[in-house]
Structure formats: C-alpha cells, structure tokens
Structure 1
Amino acid sequence: MSSDLVRLVVEHTRRVPLPEGAGGTGAVAARQLDAVLLTAGFKLSGELMRRLSGLSQGAVLDLAQGVLPVVRELAGDHVRHNVYFRDFPRNVPGTLEFWAGLLAQALVDGRPGAVLSDGVLDLLTLPGYGRYQHSYEQMLDAHEELIEGAGDRVTVLHAGGTVEDEAHALYLALAASTTPLGEDAADALAELAAHFAGGPHPVDVPVRENLAVINHVRVHGGLEPRVDTVTDVLRLACALSGGDVTLLAPTRFLPLRRPFRRALLAALDGVVAASPAKLGDVGAYRERWKRLGERLHPHEYPRYPHAAQVFEVARGERDAPSFAGRLERRMAGRDVVGAAGLLAAAPGLLFRSLDRLLRDALTTAERDAVLDAAERAAGRVSGRVLLSVREHAANRAAATRTRVFANRLGYGKVLPDTRRRLPYAVLDRLAALLDAEIAGRLPAPGHLLLDPAVLDVALPLTGKGTPGGLGVLPRGSLTPVDGALLRFFIYWRENEHTTDFDLSALMLDRTYRNPAWLSYTNLRSVAGRHSGDITAAPQGASEFIELNLAQVTHRFVIPQVNVFSGEGFEEVAESFFGFMLREAEQQGRPFEPRTVRLKSDLRGAGRVALPLAFVHDGADGGWRAKWMHLHLRGVRFNAVENNMATTSDLVRSVMEREYLTVRYLAGLMAAESTTVWDGGPPPAHPVTFIGLERPDGLAAGSRVVTPENLRDLIPE
C-alpha cells in the first residue's frame, strides 16, 4: 500500500483505505490503534473497527504506521511544544517584573546586553531572553495529566475501499471541483494526477488551473491537451516549466523538449483556428507570451500558422482587440444597453460586470434591459459566479459603506465604498433571478439531514487563501466556541536564518475600539496569560496565549501572528496556528491534541497573519469563531501595537459582511423532508447529510458533505 496515497486519502477525506488480502484476527491490534488515536483526538468508526478486526494483526499494524503520522500532523501533535515559562499558564510574571528580573541577573553576571545607538538598552539581547530555559521533559514534569473532558474533540475516521480506489476517487473529486482549490488540495491534485497519468481522467474540469495540472500529465503521457482558450495553453506551458499555473507569479520558461513544443503549438493552432477572436486574450499576458515564444520557436513549425499569430499579437505585429477593450469603448460612450448586448457572448463576464452596468444605467429602461440580458444569459453562467454575485447583491443592500478586498494571496485591504447605491427594486429583482437559477441547479437531496453546527459555515466559493489543516473553514464561517478556557498557539521552525514569530491577542470592544492586548510586551492581564517570547527556532518553537473567556470584557478577540524578524511564512521550514478549548479543571500540558479544535497552516506572502477572530454574542450569548484567513504586508519588527488600526478595520469589515452560508443553500434545496440532526443515530434509510463531521452508522447510499468536500455543494 502506497504510504503517500494513504496520507492523501486520510488527510483529505478522513477515510482509511483498507488492504486487500486474507482475513485474520486483528481485533487486539485494532483496539490498540483506536486507543493511540484517541490521544490525538481521533478514533475509529464502528464499521472501521469491525473491518480492521477481520484483518491480520500485521496488516493492522502496517496500516497504523501510515495513519498515525497523518492524524498527529493534522492536530499539530507531530512536534514538541515547549514554553518559555515552564509552568504556563501558572506563574507567568508581570511584564515589568520579568524584564527587571532579567536585567538584574544580567548585571550580576556582568553581561548587561546590547546598547543601541541612542543609548537605549536592547532588552531582547539580555542573556536568557528568547531561549528555552528548560528541556521539554522538564516542562512536562511541571504539569499534571490532562483530565478527560466531555468536550474534548473526537474526529472519527471511517472505512474506505482499497487505496487505489480511494485515491482515484479523490483525484476525480479534486479535478472536477467547481471552485478553485486551496494550496494543499492543489498540491494533492498534482500528486494524484501524476499517479493516475493513465486515467481515467474526469470528463469535465471546470477550473482552468486544475485543467493545467491534468494537461501536464496528458502531455507527459503523449496525449493531446484539452484546451479551448489560448490562456489554457499558457497555463500548460507554465506547468511544463515547473511554474505557477494560476499565473499570479511569473514563470521562467525552461527549454522544452520537441514533443512538448509541438504539443503546445498544435494546441494553440487549434484554438485560434476554431475561434480567431480568442487572439484578443493574448494581450492580458503579452510579456509572458513573448518569453514563451523564445522557447517554442514557432517559425520552425510552418504547419501551425494560427499558432504563429499568437506571438505576432504579443509582439504588436497583429491587431487583436480584446473583449475587455470592446466593452470599454461601449462604456466610454455610455452605451450601457449595447455593452450588455455585447457581453451576452461572454455570460460570465456579463454577470461579473452587472454592478457596473446597473450603476451606469441612468434610466429604469436601461436597468431593465441589463437585467433582461442577465436573465437570458443566466443558464450559461457557472454556479460559482452566480453565488458570488448573489453574495455581492446582499452586501450592496447593506448600510455598511466600506469594502473589504482579499486577493488570492490573502492580502486584506479595506476601502471606503464610494459606489452609487442601487435601487432596492433592482437588487430584489437580481436576487430573485439568482435564487431561482441556483435552486434549479441543485440536486434533489431526498431526505436532508442537517447538522445545525454547519448552517453558518460560509460556502467555499474559492479555496484560494484558505490554508490546509484540521477544522479549517472558509472565510466568513461562524462556529460556536464551547469551553471555559481558550488557548491558541503557534509553532514555527526556521529554515536557514534566525526567525522570530510572535503570537499576540488584540481585544476590541463592540465599536472596534478601546484596544487591549496580550503579547511579549504584555505577558499578563486579568483575562489571560502569554507563554513567553521565543526569538529563534532552529529546532522549532511554540508560543501560547490562554484566555479565561468568562473574564474577557471585550467583545472581540483577534489572534495575530507577527513575523518580527527573519524568514516569512512561505520561507520557514514549517509553521502553523491553532486553538484549543478546555475546562478549568482539566489541567494538562500546554499542548494537548485532544483539545485542539483548529490547526491551520501559516502560509502567505504577508508578514502579519489574521487567521480568525472570536466574537461574543452578547450578555446571554456565548462566543463564536469567525474565520478570516487574511494577511497584512507588515513591516520590519511587526508588533500588535503597530497595526491595531488596520487590524480593527479588517475585522470590522469581515464581521459586518454577509456571507452566503450552508443555511442559504439548504433553504433552496427541494428536499422531500428535512431533519435537524441532534447527534443521535441517523435514520436507517439513505439521506443527504451536511455537517461538520460524518455520523457513524449512515445507511448505504447516503450522500455526505463535510468540510473536506464542502465544495461539492457548489453547483456547476
């Protein structure tokens, strides 16, 4: 059984592939595996336990060797988490007391630390600061065992088929995704595509970046790529050079083998011969086409004359007006109706341009003409675009006059909303149009079984900017936080250069003002404690913050990870963020995998990460987490005190934005009956289950949607 394929299946489906072979008596080994899994917050489903018990003991032990490392890494339990203050969260000194003690000891030892050019003592250079003062084992000795709690996380692993069947099903599901994949899923698709180069491949691949990955496999296997735009060919060329198929980052094109050059030129020739108007797309990536032409040598292949035209356009030797250019000419002439008619040939672009068209329409007749064009084109627009426009329309009607932008790298920015308001009647008609079209595309779910905890999870309209991990949900998702103590953590391990990450907690009132914080500059408050600052991580380092939620007087708590110095999130060997929930009497180590609710990889080009925020719902309400997945560019020596205003603006924009959720989509489904799942045994007949985790004992033939495949809810 391939360990790499097992890893991918368990990580992305929470299913365990089972080996084929003769039966045996593996019950004891299966129970042992279950017991070890529980220490990391996982367990075997009833069916998986039964099937493992029917295997040989050796087969179960072999399987355990592949599964245990995966689940431990999912929970962040594959590394050692030490703390600067050994007794954390007990006996954390006040900040001034801590610095005074370090300084006094330094003076006694005759090593006072570095003095800066202006005569100020650099406290960070004091001996003993920023490095662990005890071993991991000594830290463990200072803590009682974790007392088992009823609220501890238990993630159930379910039985799968053979590793080949499970891996191939995962490959097809990822390739056929109707939304762009996150980085982890995209990497998994590339790995699986290489394994299943011989096919079968999915019939339809809606996302162009996924198509580039599959075309890369096809070309290496001597097959023709499947393309219908010139940009599809450019993405494939990037893949063949090991570059970025999203086209966000430039690719350095490598010398290509002659068969690959022929394949790319033949593909280009076919696209342009079938539709010369597609030459208009070349201008968007003109410089990249020029560089690619230097590698393809199109003049050596006179049998592909239409491909040569692509490079003539790139060099400015042939005119090919782009669709966007023709649209701009119409809009410059204030011909809104003509622009809508032009966009009828590009229905996706029409829907993405609706707000602009409706803003520029000066009369009711013009607005009606635009909406009429949208109604005629709606059936040819992807479900993802329809849902995106529906979410946009809901927020256009809101009173908030700011806009939050988050690009594919996760950079967040808030700007004033200066757009002219749209009439409510227009927004209502647009919403009704979209609701009807989306509802018509949703499959009949039969008996719909809904986990109430999933209703406020945002629909994954894109995976971009959403990191991999455990319990990670799309931006805008809301989930309850049940526990007395909230403890969040970071771990990082530097690659080549000394690197200092800092974990902070910014707290804001209901007006997003009156800040308070916990960080290395403020180690202790009424509500919580910081575990102490670590300034280098050659072997890995962790920092923690614990808050007693009953003592938090602010409405918002925003964890923040700052790159103070050294390598960024994309450069370190490893880094992740997470949070745990536990009751006061549970004791335990600073890190206990059973209490981890979220573990999220820290990735992105920014120097400040804002994974999520916690919000208190009022005097009678509890706490909830709202996922943000945003980054700030940051500066050198980032600290929570220096970016409060920007963080506050971002948090406010995400909190006040209306996101389309599972609740919205479930309300459009034509279910025969709907049951809200109470956590008990599921019905004996097949259902469509939508929830945070698959229940044990679902009837055969049931359709299951959990966060791992939430993208399957997005209609084509």
Structure 2
Amino acid sequence: MSHPLESLVIRHTYRIPAPAGPAGQGAVVVRQLDGALMSVGFKLSAQLHEKLSGLDEGVVAELAARTLAAVREIVGDHVQHNAYFIDFPRNVPDTLDFWMQCIREALADEKTREGTLEQLSAGVVNLLTLPSYGRYRHTYEEMLTHHDELIAAAGDRMTVLHLGADVETELTALYLALASSTTPLGESVLEDLVRLAAHCADGPQPEEIPVRENRAVINQVRVKTGAAPLLDTVTDLLRLACSLADGDVSLVEPTKFKNLSRPLRRALLAGLDAVVEASPAKLADVAVHREPWKRLGERLHPHEYPQWPYAAQVFAVARGEQRVRSFASRTEELLGAGDLTGAVELLRSAPGVLLRSVDRLLRTADSDETRARVLDAVRETAPQVAGRVLLSVRQHLLNRGDRLEQGGARRVFINRLGRAWVTEDTRAALPTAAKERLSAVLDAEIARRLPDPGPVLVDPDVLDVALPLSGKAVSSGIGVLPRGSVSPVEGELLRFFTYWKERKETTDYDLSAVILDEEYEQVTWLSYTQLTDVEGRHSGDVVEAPDGASEFIELRLGAVRGMFIVPQVLLFSGESFLDVEESFFGFMLREGEQRGRPFEPRTVRMKSDLRGPGRVALPLVFRRGEDGQWRAHWLHLYLKGFPAANRVEETKVTVETLLRGIVEREQLTVRWLLELMGAEVTVWDGGSLPEGPVTYIGMRRPEGLHPESRILTPENLRDVVPE
C-alpha cells in the first residue's frame, strides 16, 4: 500500500522505500519500469532491481506508477513543455520579421484591424494587442510531431535510485536529519519538515535542534498535539507563534497573527513565562522584534492569566512600559566610551555575537596588546560557538581584502531572501598578523569538531562545491548546489528553460540571457526583443499561462563571444514567483546531433523551483575559464526589479555590478574542508570502487560502495557542517 509521504523520501534521498508485499514474478514489470525511468534520466540500482523482481507484479506496478510520478516531478517532466515556435531551435525568425508578421495578421483580422491601424498611425504598436503574438498557435501534441527522437549520448544524466529501508524507517531518518540540520533549510524543505514532524510526532525526536526555524515548525506540531514546546529564548516563542499563523518563522516578513484557542494561549504563555523566570536577562531580546510582540500580545491576552507574571513582562517591555537595556546597547555604550576591554568582557557572555563582531573589534583596537585580548577572548569562547558561525567568519576572512593594497575592494551583502547588493569597502585594513592568528584559531576549532572520516573517496566534480552554510533562498530540485559553488559544464549545446503556471491573474514571465565580456560589459543578449544571434536562439515569448507555459533559450557554447552567460527570469506582468501556482528554472546540456524535443528530461542537469521575493531571478552564471572550459557559478539571487515590465536590457547595470562583486568571491569548499581534515583522500576516476567502507563525497552516489560507507552528496552535504 502506498504511503502519502513516500515521495519525500525519493526526492530527498533518491532511495525507494522497500515495499511490502507477497513474493512473485515481478521481473517483467521491473524491466519496464527501468526502461521508463531511463527515458527521464533515472535507473534502478542492481540491488533494487533484484528486490523488486522477487515481488508480486501488482505490487511492483503500483510502485512503478508512484516512482515515475515522483521522479518526473523532480526533473520537471510532470508538465507539458510547449514552445511558441513549433520548430525551436530550428526556424526561429528574425525578431523584426516576426513582429511584422504579427502586425500583418492583425491587419487581416476584422476584429483588430482598426485598433492596429490607430497604433500604426501613432508610430508605436503594443505587441500584446496583436492576436497572434505570445499565445500558443499549436498544441503540445502538434509540436511533438515536428521533432525527432532524442539520440542517446554518453553525457546524458543518469541518476541511480537505490533500495531503502521500510517507509516508516526512511521517514523517521529523514525527519531526524532535517530537524537536526546545522544549517537553515530552504522554504520548500522547511515545508517538508512540517509534514514529517506531524507524521513523526509520536516517534523518536532529535537530541538537538540547532536551527531556530526548524525548532519553530517542530514546536508547532508539539503544541497542537498537547506537548510542551521546546524553548530557551523568548524569540523561540515568537517564531512558534508565527508558525502557528502560517507566517515567516525567520521573522523577516511581518506575520498576521490568528486568533488562538484558549488551550494554545495557555501553552504559549506558560512556555514564555518559564523562559523569562529562568533567565530575566532574556527580556533584552524583546526590543529587537518590538512590533510583532505587541501584535502577538493582542492575540494572547496575557492580562487574563495572572498566574504567569513573567510572560506579562515580555509584553510590558514591547509596549515600552518596562525598560530593559539590550545587549547591543550596552556593547555600543562601552565602545562609544572607548572601553574596548570592557566590551570584549561583556561579549564573552555571548560568544556568537563576539565572533560576529570580531572584525570591528580588531579594527577598533589601537595596539597589539588590545588586539591580543580580542583574539584571546575568541580562542577561549570559540568552543561555545555554533559551527556555522565559525565557518561564516572564516569565509569572511577569505574575502577581507586589504583596501589600501588593492586600491578599492568591494563588499557584497546577500540577505536570507536572496537579495544582494554591492558597495565599496571603506573599512580600515585588518593587520596581517591579527588576521592570520584569527584564521588559525578558527581552523583549529573547526578541525577539532570534524569527525575522523577514515579513507575518503571523492568525485573531482564536487571539490569546488561550496559548503552549505545556509539553505535559505536555495530552492529544491535536482542538481542544485549551494550558493558560491562552481561545477563543470560539459556539452556543446546549453539550453535554459523556465516554466510557470498562473493561479488567478494573467502572468507573463520572460526568459532572457545576457552575454558579458571579461570586463563584465554586455556583448549581446537573447530575449523576446532579440530572438536570434550568433550565440543561439529564443523559443518565443509566451504572455499568459492559464494551463502553464514554457520558454527556452539555446546557446552553442563554441559560438559565445563573451566570458559570461547570465540567464534571467523576469516578471513582466501578473503574479510574483511566490504567488503563481508553480514556477521553475533549469538547464539542459546536449551534444550537437542529439535532436529531441525542446524539453528532454534526461538531458536536464539542473532544475529548481523559483520561489524568491524579487521580480528578477538570477539562478546562476556560466563562466568560461582560461582553459576554455565552461563552469557554472551558483548565485540563487533575486533582484527587486520594477513593479512590472522588467526587461533584460534594463537590468544590465545591476547585473554587471553584482557579478563583478560576487563571482570573484572566495568560498569555503569541499576541497578546503578536506585539506583542513588532513584525511587520506583518493580522487575517484569513475573506475573500480574500494572493497571496504569509505566516506564517499560526490555529485551522485555510485553503485557498488561498501554498505557501511558514509555517503555525502548535494542532497545531504549540510551534514559536513559541524555543530
């Protein structure tokens, strides 16, 4: 019997939970399933193939239908990808010729002739008023008849599905892995955690929940089932209230709190009261989120519950009736008075804040002696700091340019929503000796926390993948890597695709790509305003998507005249990326003679949801190296853009500025971590595998690893980040 959460296991682990059922002769159905899977770029492992072959045909047939549906959605093949120009990438017309054809057709139509003539007399024609512009003129089935079958190539993606444990064991393991993640999860993964937490509420629970957002959604399930929430700060309670209201548990966006039942109000107030009673100093955190606390107080009615006076103090502080000095204000007062030593001593009680402030403290120090005090405090408190903070500060030091020597470094800021901005770095340089000692302190503490991995087998393609310090703004999908990662691009033809389906309002997204030279200056672009160029072809502009719509851009990499290829998805009109029913972006790689449909799932190298807050999405950029090899640099950025009518020509300055500041940034990568470990590392060439257990780190799990091996792929790479 199927399980409603089985697809989560497949999507997150590429394992199929071992099905239960009577023995039988399922080999024929298994071969059919394997063939169907291979057509979309997946296949069964030998162990899984053998297991399924010994089951009843009916059991295997039901499993096959569920598995195919799950993997097709992973890769984006669960929808029909039609192209506006039916022969794309062949026979794409010149842009002006195409527009003139649309005008001629509008003039030939009695319904639109008069309006078109009026526009022509004014000298400007609105393309959207032309009946043949931007709306499919053929069905998906008709489009298929214009394309030959895809010719298989050795470079096609093939993702192996492995045999898992029973479904309940797999769901519990996935729940514990996500709940105990040391890095924040992306929005879609956090939604999965909510579902898993509800299902696993009565089962094993994680020993630690390091990430506050994860704790909030788990607490939501706990209070709904009558269990006490897990709280150790007042902000934990605020996040829980946001979760109960289906709001933003990261507290970035305002939440509209709902009316709460009396049992829920009692549970929240009792938990809040216990936190403040145990540590009244935590009231200082209230001021950071004063307005949300005031609005929450209107729903909780703390005055009705005099048995919890400490909880009432939280809302008194929020309203300004009770004054509590914040930790930040006390620190600023000491620094403002020139008492660096006093500030450092105060910050010892908040090691994480001390680490985040260390650059400023070192710049404030006026002597080697005071800098030594700062570094001594960091060394002594570093064992109490979260691993993600240690790694973040270490990465900050990698990019802490010496402004005086470099003649003008740039600072890059990227918030948790994926919005970025770049500005000139006006900070004083850090003394070299202090910077080197701080790096050594951080390296030593990070290395101390890393487990002994034993023999390590590593896929060379994963060495330049960035450590996932945060999953925020990184959408789920296939082949998606952390921001800052670099991965090789192998193939002659690079094809981008985007798909969207509007929910209520007519929605027009535009897929575009800009080509930049080595100085980040624009060479050319492809979009609905320029359908063809030396580099490639655009599939045509689609301006509405009641049943879903797709746009494609294909580039011949050998013909690209620049150094960078920057794909973008721009909102022209209608619903945002957060409001549409569905939207995603990806890219395919093909050899020159493979042919095939505009969308071929087994050539998809990456597909991710578009769920960001901006109106212009920048998923990644492609860069040609000095060796001629193209590589993908992962961005996961969203530009604010204009309220409507965003065009690639108008994002030119912003994109060039951002890329200049971001692409050159150094990252903490898998390569850096392996060097820090000092482990016995073997680079795997794709040949035979070791007989004994290893720690395998790669883009995909190979068949034939020892069953006791530890396997790290992009899906669970967050596990390498120490607590």
2:697 matches 1:690: yes
2 CA distance for matches of 1:315 and 1:250?
18
Deviations 1:437-459 (A, max 9, x none): 10110000011111110000011
Deviation at 1:227, TM superposition (A): 0.8
1 CA distance for matches of 2:416 and 2:102?
44
Partner of 1:157: 161
- Counterpart amino acid of residue 705 in structure 2: L
TM-score when scaled to structure 2?
Answer: 0.97
Alignment of 1:391-406 (within 5 A): 391-397=395-401, 399=406, 401-406=409-414
- Counterpart amino acid of residue 634 in structure 2: W
- Counterpart amino acid of residue 189 in structure 2: A
Contact 2:401–2:409 at 8 Å: present in 1 too?
Answer: no
2 CA distance for matches of 1:709 and 1:383?
17
Deviations 1:298-326 (A, max 9, x none): 22222212112111111212121111111
Deviation at 1:22, TM superposition (A): 3.1
RMSD, aligned α-carbons: 1.4
2 CA distance for matches of 1:524 and 1:296?
60
SS at match of 1:168: helix
Partner of 2:185: 181
Counterpart among 271, 274, 277 of residue 273 in structure 1:
277
Partner of 1:28: 28
2:477 matches 1:469: yes
1 CA distance for matches of 2:160 and 2:154?
16
2:210 matches 1:206: yes
Contact 1:41–1:154 at 8 Å: present in 2 too?
Answer: yes
Contact 2:419–2:640 at 8 Å: present in 1 too?
Answer: yes
- Counterpart amino acid of residue 589 in structure 1: R
Deviation at 1:118, TM superposition (A): 5.8
2:178 matches 1:171: no
1 CA distance for matches of 2:244 and 2:581?
26
Deviation at 1:240, TM superposition (A): 2.3
- Counterpart amino acid of residue 720 in structure 2: L
Deviations 1:41-69 (A, max 9, x none): 01111111111112211111111122111
2 CA distance for matches of 1:236 and 1:143?
52
Alignment of 1:556-575 (within 5 A): 556-575=564-583
2 CA distance for matches of 1:50 and 1:444?
34
Counterpart among 670, 690, 699 of residue 706 in structure 2:
699
Alignment of 1:132-147 (within 5 A): 132-147=136-151
Contact 2:523–2:561 at 8 Å: present in 1 too?
Answer: no
2 CA distance for matches of 1:563 and 1:309?
46
Contact 1:502–1:563 at 8 Å: present in 2 too?
Answer: yes
Partner of 1:624: 631
Alignment of 1:244-283 (within 5 A): 244-283=248-287
SS at match of 1:397: coil
Partner of 1:445: 453
Contact 1:313–1:319 at 8 Å: present in 2 too?
Answer: yes
2 CA distance for matches of 1:343 and 1:499?
50
Deviation at 1:621, TM superposition (A): 2.6
Partner of 2:234: 230
Counterpart among 563, 566, 571 of residue 555 in structure 1:
563
Counterpart among 643, 657, 664 of residue 656 in structure 1:
664
2:651 matches 1:643: yes
Deviation at 1:228, TM superposition (A): 0.7
SS at match of 1:585: coil
Contact 1:527–1:549 at 8 Å: present in 2 too?
Answer: yes
Deviation at 1:681, TM superposition (A): 2.9
2 CA distance for matches of 1:47 and 1:668?
35
2 CA distance for matches of 1:552 and 1:102?
30
Contact 1:3–1:66 at 8 Å: present in 2 too?
Answer: no
- Counterpart amino acid of residue 523 in structure 1: L
2:372 matches 1:350: no
Partner of 2:152: 148
Deviation at 1:103, TM superposition (A): 2.1
- Counterpart amino acid of residue 8 in structure 1: L
2 CA distance for matches of 1:296 and 1:109?
63
2 CA distance for matches of 1:563 and 1:55?
49
2 CA distance for matches of 1:479 and 1:371?
36
Judge which range, 538-547 or 287-296, deviates more: 287-296
1 CA distance for matches of 2:264 and 2:498?
44
Alignment of 1:110-125 (within 5 A): 111-112=112-113, 114=116, 119-125=123-129
Partner of 1:325: 329
* Contiguous gaps of at least 5 residues in structure 1: none
SS at match of 1:483: coil
Deviation at 1:573, TM superposition (A): 0.8
2 CA distance for matches of 1:348 and 1:340?
12
Deviation at 1:360, TM superposition (A): 1.5
2:311 matches 1:307: yes
SS at match of 2:5: helix
* Contiguous gaps of at least 5 residues in structure 2: none
2 CA distance for matches of 1:97 and 1:214?
58
Partner of 1:502: 510
2 CA distance for matches of 1:242 and 1:640?
34
- Counterpart amino acid of residue 721 in structure 2: I
Judge which range, 118-127 or 686-695, deviates more: 118-127
SS at match of 1:211: helix
- Counterpart amino acid of residue 371 in structure 1: L
2:247 matches 1:239: no
2:683 matches 1:679: no
Q: How many residues align?
A: 714
Judge which range, 483-492 or 112-121, deviates more: 112-121
2 CA distance for matches of 1:191 and 1:356?
42
Alignment of 1:325-474 (within 5 A): 325-397=329-401, 399=406, 401-474=409-482
Q: Percent identity?
A: 61
Deviation at 1:2, TM superposition (A): 4.4
1 CA distance for matches of 2:294 and 2:49?
58
1 CA distance for matches of 2:234 and 2:322?
16
2 CA distance for matches of 1:713 and 1:457?
12
2 CA distance for matches of 1:93 and 1:223?
64
Deviation at 1:296, TM superposition (A): 1.9
Partner of 2:613: 605
1 CA distance for matches of 2:696 and 2:226?
41
SS at match of 1:215: helix
Contact 1:397–1:427 at 8 Å: present in 2 too?
Answer: no
1 CA distance for matches of 2:514 and 2:498?
15
SS at match of 1:516: strand
Judge which range, 578-587 or 316-325, deviates more: 316-325
- Counterpart amino acid of residue 474 in structure 1: P
Partner of 2:543: 535
Partner of 1:633: 640
Counterpart among 201, 209, 215 of residue 219 in structure 2:
215
Relative to structure 1, the CA distance from residue 272 to residue 653 in structure 2 (aligned partners, 3 Å threshold; closer, same or farther) is: same
Deviation at 1:272, TM superposition (A): 1.0
Judge which range, 115-124 or 363-372, deviates more: 115-124
2 CA distance for matches of 1:290 and 1:512?
48
Alignment of 1:50-129 (within 5 A): 50-109=50-109, 111-112=112-113, 114=116, 119-129=123-133
2 CA distance for matches of 1:107 and 1:646?
39
- Counterpart amino acid of residue 14 in structure 1: Y
Deviation at 1:294, TM superposition (A): 2.0
Contact 1:444–1:670 at 8 Å: present in 2 too?
Answer: no
Deviation at 1:119, TM superposition (A): 4.8
- Counterpart amino acid of residue 654 in structure 1: I
Deviation at 1:259, TM superposition (A): 1.9
- Counterpart amino acid of residue 56 in structure 2: S
Contact 1:6–1:67 at 8 Å: present in 2 too?
Answer: no
Judge which range, 487-496 or 14-23, deviates more: 14-23
Deviation at 1:406, TM superposition (A): 1.6
Deviations 1:419-474 (A, max 9, x none): 11112221111111111110110000011111110000011100001011111111
